Amino acid sequence: MTSQSIKDRSGGSYRSIFMDALIDAAEETPEILLLVADLGRAMGASRFSTLFPDRCFQLGIAEQNLIGVAAGMASCGKIPFAATFAPFATMRCLEQIRDDVAYMSLNVKIVGTDSGVSLGTLGTTHYAIEDIGLLRSIPNMVILSPADGAELYQAVFAAAKHKGPVYIRVGGSQQPAAVYQENCNFTIGRAVTLTQGNDAAIIATGTMVERAVQAAEILLRGNIRVRVVNMHTIKPLDDEAVLKAATETGAVVTIEEHNIVGGLGTAVADVMAQNGVGRLLKLGLPDQFSHKIAPYSDMLARYGLNPEEIVVNVENFVCKRRAQI
Amino acid sequence: MTLNAGKEGGHIGPGLSVADIVATLFFGVMRIDPQNPDWPDRDRLILSKGHAVLGYYPALAQAGYFPEQMLETFEKKGSPLAGHPCTIGTPGVDFSSGSMGHGLSVGLGMALAAKLDARDYSVYVVLGDGEQNEGAVWEAAMAAAQYHVDNLIAVIDRNGLQHDSSCAEVMDTEPLADKWRSFGWETREVDGHDIGQLLEAFQPEYRPKGKPYVIIAHTTKGKGVSFMENGVSWHHAVLTQKQAELALAEISQDKTGGE
Ligand SMILES: Cc1ncc(C[n+]2csc(CCOP(=O)(O)OP(=O)(O)O)c2C)c(N)n1
């Protein structure tokens, strides 16, 4: 995709950028299919089915069947993309994902849109804040969590090329805040360092990457140089990038729109602890259900995931760390 | 409430579709004590199609579980009144829902517990017709027949639409009544906007002994508002001030016209 077309698409939502990418990928790769579970309208599946009427399947509100059917198709050489809202795409059918997809290492691509707390006022049943943790503990799974529209576009192509199960974690009806002005180079499993710095490293994923970049800019004004690492692949994790960040900065902060238990922070902690390097601060959603809802942006603010609060947390962390040295 | 929710919008079509069913249950059928929402002998209601809260929260408020002003907090920051009902924080909600296909299993559990405790309450579970796609609905249907529960009553809001399109086009569940019958359930079909027919269907003499009972209530998604009726795009929508006024005018006219 040219940078021009990224700009053309700048008004698109996560959902529609996913569909743009899938349509373009499907033009190149005839094995690509789209499977939906009565949330196709939300992501513009009719654009796909108009172009490829035989390659789009509506399975109804039946996510276990969705994944099982995808597994069967993949076993016959197809590349099915099973797409629905993230909580239903990952949790309702978790055993199908493990037994029928991952265990067989089948070429199924699961796309969870509206992940994290992006469905704000719809409440907990519509949040996916455990999906990374659940899928990360399943062998063979690849987990992609792109940072913006340009990267999402690339991630869809990368997922299609990769042989084996992939989960792509996508936002919802919001327009992604751009991290990349130009084309990005997307390689599964290779983190991208966005800013240089050795006072601390922020390792972020998905929607939090752009906020991390903003935070780093603010911190720079206070003379704290922060390295921002975009960890777009949660599994396989780029251990090398984590170790480099931990040894060179000594202070690593992870940020994710996910439960701080089991997600990116936990994955990074594993690597750091096993190698005995650096200190870690995990930012993300607390390990609790919220019984009081709020619109999306207020939900993120409630849990301190605004650039301003990220700044305060990083500052305190860096100061504490300096005091220890 | 939808207007008040601003750009968050609301599931208005599903709410209007189910409102008569829910109102009939609360005000004509169920044994409840809103001052005592945890009363062990109360009848239970599970809104398994949990997105239809716009047809549910107002009934809870009107029954007296919480003040009507609380409805104004719907989908507002810090409110318990989310787009799907949650037991924790909202008095009168017997069970949280939102992900489709859970309610009938939970209802069966409550019905079996009643038998264990020799209590005589009934459990009502309101399901969507698109929700019938979920395998879990049929797992519960099978188990309910196996256990001969006659204190579990399912009501299907049969409006013929689901999210993406019509039920027939998305995933056809017809012949629906035959399916339930073949699973061992007593079935009855009614006009889900005719309060008389609904009330009658819940009468004790129609309730089967020794087997579960399902009422298929034929409804109209977006009922009462001409420009919303049977409209797929009104499944979840944002309302303008003008649309809200038109809708309210039509609904209140409907009331005074008397059905
Ligand atoms: C397990 C699950 N999958 C998908 C959804 C998203 N969803 C919410 S409502 C709906 C359609 C419901 O159709 P129906 O049961 O017919 O109810 P209606 O709104 O038409 O009354 C869908 C797919 C969900 N809530 N739960």
- The string of DSSP letters for A293-310 reads B--HHHHHHHTT-SHHHH
**CA distance, residue B19 to nearest chain A CA (Å):** 19
State the distance from the centre of ligand 1 to the C-alpha of B131, rounded, in angstroms.
6
pLDDT digit string (tens) for A72-97?
999 999 999 999 999 999 999 999 99
* Mutate which of B47, B49, B174, B193 for ligand 1 pocket (most atoms within 8 A of beta carbon): B49
pTM for the model: 0.95
Tokens of B10: 């609301």
Residue B159 beta carbon below 6 angstroms from any ligand 1 atom: yes
Task: Please report which residue ranges of A52-139 form alpha helices under DSSP H.
Answer: 63-75, 86-90, 94-95, 131-136
A39 contacts in chain B (CB < 8 Å): 163-164
Tokens of B116: 């264990």
Atom 7 of ligand 1 has which residue's CA nearest to it? Answer: B163
In chain B, domain spans: 6-255
Q: Which of B48, B54, B171 to mutate to test the interface with A (most CBs of A within 10 A)?
A: B171
Q: In the prediction, which pLDDT does A154 show?
A: 96
Say if the Cβ atoms of B100 and A61 lie within 8 Å.
yes
Cβ neighbours of residue A202 closer than 8 Å, sequence gap 6 or more? A212, A215, A216, A226, A227, A228, A229, A252, A253, A254, A255, A310, A314
Q: How many CB pairs under 8 A join A and B?
A: 100
Contact of A58 with chain B, judged by CB distance below 8 Å, is answered with: yes
State the distance from the centre of ligand 1 to the C-alpha of A272, rounded, in angstroms.
43
Say if the Cβ atoms of A122 and B83 lie within 8 Å.
yes
**CA distance, residue B90 to nearest chain A CA (Å):** 9
3-state secondary structure of B26: helix
B2 vs A313, higher pLDDT: A313
3-state secondary structure of A29: coil
B76 contacts in chain A (CB < 8 Å): 294
Tokens of A49: 């089915």
pLDDT digit string (tens) for B22-42?
999 999 999 999 999 999 999
Kind and range of the H or E run holding B169? helix B167-170
The closest-lying atom of ligand 1 relative to the alpha carbon of residue B167 is: 16
Confidence at B259, pLDDT banded by 50, 70, 90: very low
pLDDT digit string (tens) for B54-109?
999 999 999 999 999 999 999 999 999 999 999 999 999 999 999 999 999 999 99
* Mutate which of A15, A35, A38 for ligand 1 pocket (most atoms within 8 A of beta carbon): A38
How high is the ipTM of this complex? 0.94
* Mutate which of A39, A59, A61 for ligand 1 pocket (most atoms within 8 A of beta carbon): A61
Secondary structure letter of residue B148 according to DSSP: T
Q: Which domains does chain A have, with CATH numbers?
A: 14-169 (3.40.50.970), 192-324 (3.40.50.920)
Q: Which CATH number fits domain B6-255: 3.30.70.660, 3.40.50.970, 3.30.2290.10, 3.40.50.300?
A: 3.40.50.970
Residue B102 beta carbon below 6 angstroms from any ligand 1 atom: no
The closest-lying atom of ligand 1 relative to the alpha carbon of residue A125 is: 25
pLDDT digit string (tens) for A123-151?
999 999 999 999 999 999 999 999 999 99
pLDDT digit string (tens) for A244-265?
999 999 999 999 999 999 999 9
Task: Please report which residue ranges of chain A form alpha helices under DSSP H.
Answer: 3-8, 14-28, 45-51, 63-75, 86-90, 94-95, 131-136, 149-161, 208-221, 239-249, 264-275, 296-302, 307-324
> What are the backbone dihedrals phi and psi of residue B72, each rounded to the nearest 5 degrees, phi first?
-65, -15
Say if the Cβ atoms of A121 and B83 lie within 8 Å.
yes
Contact of A60 with chain B, judged by CB distance below 8 Å, is answered with: yes
pLDDT digit string (tens) for B167-202?
999 999 999 999 999 999 999 999 999 999 999 999
Q: Which of B80, B89, B170 sits opposite A38 (nearest CB)?
A: B170
State the distance from the centre of ligand 1 to the C-alpha of B85, rounded, in angstroms.
14
B98 contacts in chain A (CB < 8 Å): 122-126
CA atoms of B245 and B211, how far apart (whole Å): 46
pLDDT, averaged across chain B: 96
Residue B158 beta carbon below 6 angstroms from any ligand 1 atom: no
Confidence at B118, pLDDT banded by 50, 70, 90: very high
Q: Which of A60, A64, A122 sits opposite B84 (nearest CB)?
A: A122
